Amino acid sequence: MKTVPIIDLHTAASMVKDGDTLLQGGFGMTGNPVHLMHALAEIGTKNLTFIGNNTGEAGLGGGRLLRNGQLKKMIGSFFTSNPDAVKAAQNGDVAYELLPQGTLAEAIRAGGAGIGGFYTPTSAGTIIAEGRETKILDGVEQVFIKSIRGNVAFIRAWRADTAGNLQYRMTENNFNKAMATAADLVIAEVEEIVPVGEIAPEFIHTQGCYVDYLVEAKITLEDLGSSASVSSSKKVDETRMNMAKRALAELKKGDVVNLGIGIPTLVADLITEEHGIILHTENGMLGVGPVPTDGGGAMDYPVNAGKIPVTALKGSSYFDSADSFAMIRGGHIDVAIMGGLEVDEAANLANWAVPGKPLLGVGGAMDLAKGAKRLIITMTHTNPDGSSKIVPSCILPLTAKGVVSMIITDLAVFAYPDGKLTLIELMPNATLEDVTAKTSASFINAV
């Protein structure tokens, strides 16, 4: 059995050279090799191409390199969670490329598997696909994505043995497993290094043949950023909760369901064990339970796609981001409930970008919109200025075409029987006159 060298943070960070492409594991600050990133920030290596789901948080992880001016380009899925990254991209200070989260994970996995690229229906018909080769395969428009590799990968694991075998903890797997396969040099930052044989073979998630160096570094609450803890108290207005309750009524026992951020997350607070609904989160978990009530954070609990600590129900399981999106694209998610900015008469969805606003990240929305068997959109009926969000044709950048099954707003419920936008229900205290006045799209009234 080989022995992987154990080195210090400074030595590890010194292996990254000016101009390198750096893969960084983690989802937010969960499973993030934050100590390696901060050591690299101290050294000051420049002109780096950074590839990760997001650039950490402001001043944390990749966010520290960004503030130092060490990044020339960012490739990722969701930069909105770091205001510095959004500003740098929109000001033209740093080049950037956005990929849907599942596309990013699969591109890295493909790079590590020696595959040159792949076709995916995700992002077809959107601005993300502009300039990319497309084909119709089995009647479905698909976008070609080139695989991704890097010079160096910084990843984070919970345990390693001296042969470099790695074990991840809860949702800390995320992008780490794929990134461990897709770089010329892989350095794993781990909580604990144990002798060979201490990790049972069935608990080894990344094999030692992928790992070149180990660094031992302990995670603290400060390293976890916004996921460090969670408040057990939150106030939700009745209107938003009514939308969540109506969405819950669409779910049936045994459904595998993915909840987006915003109003959809409220559905999780309503689900009980008796409902028999299995919640999926795209960063690598099935069987998501409610938010912990003890104030604990990501040191003690898994996190969901909103980077919020959650509990794990009986029968829960963890996996990496590439597997998670294989579930989504493969049609194994029964229902996705997402927020929306616009939905139109043709069941098109726009929910990820508003030109001129500090939003920069598509996350998993495009994958879920195309891959889920049913897509339910929960959103307020109008914008703050009173304009309708249910429109004849989406003006905002599209998330996906022809994918919406149902719209639930504070005023009404719409569906698409026979492909026609149809009003099927009024929400409490709403009138048909209200709905008609506040909906710019044409619709059939079936109330």
pLDDT by residue, tens only, the chain of 447 residues: 789 999 999 999 999 999 999 999 999 999 999 999 999 999 999 999 999 999 999 999 999 999 999 999 999 999 988 999 999 999 999 999 999 999 999 999 999 999 999 999 999 999 999 999 999 999 999 999 999 999 999 999 999 999 999 999 999 999 999 999 999 999 999 999 999 999 999 999 999 999 999 999 999 988 888 887 766 556 778 999 999 999 999 999 999 999 998 889 889 888 888 899 999 999 999 999 988 888 888 889 999 998 889 999 999 999 999 999 999 999 999 999 999 999 999 999 999 988 878 778 899 999 999 999 999 999 999 999 999 999 999 999 999 999 999 999 999 999 999 999 999 999 999 999 999 999 999 999 999
Assign 3-class secondary structure to 153-207.
EEEEEEEEECCCCEECCHHHCECHHHHCCCEEEEEEEEEEEECCCCCCHHHCCEC
Would you state the pLDDT for residue 234? 61
Pairing relation of β-strands 166-167 and 150-161?
antiparallel
Q: Which candidate, 332, 249, 224, places its Cα nearest to that of 286?
A: 332
Residue 245, both tokens: 């309750």
Question: Percent helix, strand, coil in the chain (nearest 5)?
Answer: 25, 30, 45
Would you state the pLDDT for residue 230? 67
Measure the CA angle with vertex 72, ends 65 and 97; round to 5°: 105
- For the segment 323-367, what is each residue's pLDDT rounded down to a tens digit? 999 999 999 999 999 999 999 999 999 999 888 787 788 999 999
Q: Report the distance separating Cα 36 and Cα 251, nearest Å.
A: 43
- For the segment 7-21, what is each residue's pLDDT rounded down to a tens digit? 999 999 999 999 999
Would you state the pLDDT for residue 110? 98
Cite the beta strand spans of 282-410 per DSSP E.
Answer: 285-288, 312-318, 335-339, 342-344, 349-350, 374-378, 390-391, 406-408
Q: Which candidate, 148, 167, 170, 145, places its Cα nearest to that of 158?
A: 167
Measure the CA angle with vertex 150, ends 210 and 158; round to 5°: 45
Measure the CA angle with vertex 132, ends 404 and 329; round to 5°: 40
User: Model's pTM, two decimal places?
Assistant: 0.94
Residue 405, both tokens: 């099954």
The pair phi, psi for residue 161, each rounded to 5°, is -100, 175
3-state secondary structure of 78: strand
Would you state the pLDDT for residue 233? 55
Measure the CA angle with vertex 343, ends 341 and 349; round to 5°: 80
Q: Which candidate, 133, 199, 154, places its Cα nearest to that of 37?
A: 154
CA atoms within 13 A on the CB side of 431: 3
- Catalytic positions: 282
User: How far does CA 156 lie from the centroid of its chain?
Assistant: 18
- Interhelix angle 321-329/101-112, rounded to 10 degrees, is 120
